[in-house]
Amino acid sequence: MLDDTQPIRAGRPTREQAQARQVALLDAALEHFLDKGYESATIEAIAAEVSMTKRTVYAKYPDKTALFRAAVRHGTQGRAVSAEVIAATRKGSLEDTLVAIAMLRIGLVGEPAGAKLQRLINTESYRFPDIFQTYYDIAALPTVRFLADILEEETRAGRLAIGDAMLAANVFMSMVVSGPVRFILSGNALSRDDIERRVRFAIDLFLKGAEPR
């Protein structure tokens, strides 16, 4: 039992406390950048939101650019799905599997938090081209690799004729996923039925182009 009469010593934070403070800082920074954009965001405002001094923030991140990149990476990691979720898109038929993969990717961006992050990346990628690569590597690449493996299996079975599975998987994402995503990010509402209709139409074109000749 604790003795309330003994003073509590303020020592160095534990590793868990330091990690929690780090997450709180990145959470606050991400929300601030999402709300204000890069140009209008300030280290002072972000530090104040988590009751830190600017000096403490600068000890971890030398400037706003470094904090911005870290916040985008943090947000992207938070939007990434697990290998189990990706694997669950595997359905009984190839077409249904491709639909499930496309709907998973579109759904992640269609959620409010995902749309805000994607808009921030799209807006600031001219200034920081690396954040687009960060997003791709963390949030998209695991799904692309999963799809490439499926396309290789279908090619080995003779049902498709694809020479470069990774390239084909990336083309699939551009062809099938990017259209509805751009529509959503522009502020236009699409019903799930409308999205799925567009997805199935694009998948039909993709599969026809990948048929053995």
pLDDT in the model for residue 80: 93
Structure confidence at residue 8 (pLDDT): 43
For residue 99, the model assigns a pLDDT of 97
For residue 134, which amino acid is it?
T
Q: Considering the chain, what percentage of its residues have pLDDT values greater than 90?
A: 78
Question: What pLDDT score was predicted for residue 19?
Answer: 85
pTM: 0.85
Residue 128: pLDDT above 80? yes
Find the mean pLDDT for residues 7-16: 64
3-state secondary structure the chain: CCCCCCCCCCCCCCHHHHHHHHHHHHHHHHHHHHHHHHHHCCHHHHHHHCCCCHHHHHHHCCCHHHHHHHHHHHHHHHHCCCHHHHHCCCCCCHHHHHHHHHHHHHHHHHCHHHHHHHHHHHHHCCCCHHHHHHHHHHHHHHHHHHHHHHHHHHHHCCCCCCCCHHHHHHHHHHHHHHHHHHHHHCCCCCCHHHHHHHHHHHHHHHHHHCCCC
CATH numbers and ranges of domains, the chain: 15-72 (1.10.10.60), 80-209 (1.10.357.10)
The answer, yes or no, to whether residue 4 has pLDDT greater than 60, is: no
186 pLDDT band, cuts 50/70/90, is confident
**Where on the phi/psi map is residue 93: left (φ > 0), alpha (ψ -120 to 50), or beta?**
beta
Region 113-129: mean pLDDT is 92
Q: How confident is the model at residue 164 (pLDDT cuts 50, 70, 90)?
A: very high
Q: For residue 2, what pLDDT is reported?
A: 42
- Residue 109 pLDDT grade (very low, low, confident, very high; cuts 50, 70, 90): confident
Ramachandran quadrant class, 187 (left: phi over 0; alpha: psi -120 to 50; beta: rest): left
pLDDT tens digits, one per residue of 82-99: 999 999 999 999 999 999
- Mean of pLDDT values over 151-162: 97
Neighbours of 156 (CB within 10 A): 9
- pLDDT at 25 > cutoff 50: yes
Q: In angstroms, rounded to a whole number, what is the distance separating the alpha carbons of residues 125 and 46? A: 21
Average pLDDT estimate for 20-29: 93
* Pair of tokens at residue 158: 């003779």
Q: How would residue 58 be classed by pLDDT, with cut points 50, 70 and 90? A: very high
**DSSP letter, residue 168:** H
Return the H-helix or E-strand segment holding 34.
helix 15-40
Give pLDDT, residue 103: 95
